[in-house]
Structure 1
Amino acid sequence: MAAVIEAKGLTRHFGGLRAVDGVDFSLEHGEIHGLIGPNGAGKTTFVSLLSGRIPVQSGVITLNGEDITHLPAHLRVRKGVAYTFQITSVYPRLSVFDNVALAAQSRGAADVPAEVARALAQVGLTGLDLSIAGTLSYGHQRLLEVAMGLALRPSVLILDEPTQGLASGEIDGFKALIRSLVPQTTILLIEHNMDVVMDLADRITVLNFGQVLAVGTPDEIRRNRAVQDAYLGGDHAAG
């Protein structure tokens, strides 16, 4: 598979903190790629570098071979990189329809109502289009944010902790949703729920102290001694 996004030597320090410290990374076309690591490992900073929310101090990011290292976030969105819960956020006083419509309009969709209906159907929110976003349950608001991301028609969708706050039944629905998006959409999944990551991911990258600790299939990551010691030990071992 060809790399959709490739990063070489990405670095971002905050004072003395090496949040991202020389990270190499590849996101291959049509895959679901999990990004895991202990709290403070640098995951959020890393995906903020990929999405353009935080500038890179050193290193190179390419999208389908094009250097996007210094491209701002809104231009990366236009090129097909959507970062949900960062690029998108729910407007609580607007309707569900209007929230998704704003995302569709931002990329110049020709038939906005059709795009909204498609995105809401994908996440299972059909029939809630007239509801005020702020009145939805927390889980439904998370799904609305995913719908807003999908309305951008991204080639790469970065999902940051998407199952947080979802009930177990909703998580099953979410996993089915993610599987339905590939291979048309390539997924980067930042997730603390190990069952979700191990079940969905084709490959997993483990960050620790701002560096790549391991990359591999779920089985390879489960068996990796360094990963077990740093992250999967104890309560996580069965996950």
Structure 2
Amino acid sequence: MSVILSTHGLTRAFSGHVAVNAVDFTLNEGEIRALIGPNGAGKTTFVSMLIGRIAPSAGRIRFEDQDVTDLPAHLRVSRGMAYTFQITSVFGQLSVEENVALAARRRLGRDRVAVRAEVEHALARVGLTDHIGQTAQDLSYGHQRLLEIAMGLAQRPRLLILDEPTQGLAENEIAAFKTLIRSLVPDTTILLIEHNMSVVMELADRITVLNFGEILAEGTPVDIHANPLVQNAYLGSG
């Protein structure tokens, strides 16, 4: 299995506080990997460096065997990385259709027929077809999260990074989300930051646990669930 993303010594410090400390991380192509850990463990900082929203203080990032450490976020997107935010980043005044169309145009340009087809395909995958003409700000919070995932899918990413995607979703929407994620692999590799441990345990091939900015443990869901260090640092607290 080939490596799609890796980091070496990835570090980020803020005013003397080390949020992520010398992380070596490897993600295989076609994998669903969950990234978990207590609040403040450095998860969002870590993925923000992966996607190019935050520059590392030290270390390197490779994507599809190319060093992308110094590339701005939009160039990483053009190479096949997509990221959905922990807090929704949809354009509230625009329609559902136009939100997804904006994302699709990054890849397809101004080909209206192709963009429309991509919009319809992405919305169908997340179950929002019936909301295509609705203004995004009028959607429920859960549906806004699904819209953001549709925006990511419209870019046909090689790697999709999802930050707390099930937050605000109803139980039936979570079930549909899990089905959707399984349908994306192996064409799309998934890196999932998620606090819902039932989602993590059901979806992930492997789990990486961050604690105090460092990797505490990695392994299968069974390995992680049984790991006493993880129990003490994270699972045992909730």
Task: Specify the code of the residue in structure 2 equivalent to 1:70.
Answer: D
Deviation at 1:85, TM superposition (A): 2.1
Superposed CA offset, 1:44-92 (max 9, x none): 0000010010001111111111000111101000000001127982111
Residues 139 and 167 in structure 1, CA contact (< 8 A), matched pair in contact too: yes
Q: Mapping of 1:29-178 within 5 angstroms? A: 29-85=29-85, 89-109=89-109, 110=111, 111-178=114-181
Which residue among 205, 208, 213 is the counterpart of 1:205?
Answer: 208
Q: Mapping of 1:211-222 within 5 angstroms? A: 211-222=214-225
SS at 1:233 equivalent: helix
SS at 2:108 equivalent: coil
Task: Specify the code of the residue in structure 2 equivalent to 1:59.
Answer: G
Aligned pair count reads 235
Q: CA RMSD in A?
A: 1.3
Which residue among 179, 186, 200 is the counterpart of 2:182?
Answer: 179
Q: TM-score, normalised by structure 1?
A: 0.96
Name structure 2 gaps, 5 residues minimum: none
Task: Specify the code of the residue in structure 2 equivalent to 1:162.
Answer: P
Residue 229 of structure 2: aligned partner: 226
Residue 4 of structure 1: aligned partner: 4
**Aligned pair in 2 of structure 1 residues 4, 20: CA closer, same or farther (>3 Å)?**
same
**Identity of counterpart residues, as a percentage?**
65
Name structure 1 gaps, 5 residues minimum: none
In structure 1, C-alpha distance between the alignment counterparts of 2:99 and 2:47, rounded to whole Å: 24
Residues 88 and 145 in structure 2, CA contact (< 8 A), matched pair in contact too: no
Deviation at 1:100, TM superposition (A): 0.3
Task: Specify the code of the residue in structure 1 equivalent to 2:169.
Answer: L
Q: TM-score, normalised by structure 2?
A: 0.96
SS at 1:215 equivalent: strand
Residues 56 and 70 in structure 1, CA contact (< 8 A), matched pair in contact too: no
SS at 1:8 equivalent: strand
In structure 2, C-alpha distance between the alignment counterparts of 1:199 and 1:16, rounded to whole Å: 38
In structure 1, C-alpha distance between the alignment counterparts of 2:127 and 2:173, rounded to whole Å: 10
**Aligned pair in 2 of structure 1 residues 86, 101: CA closer, same or farther (>3 Å)?**
farther
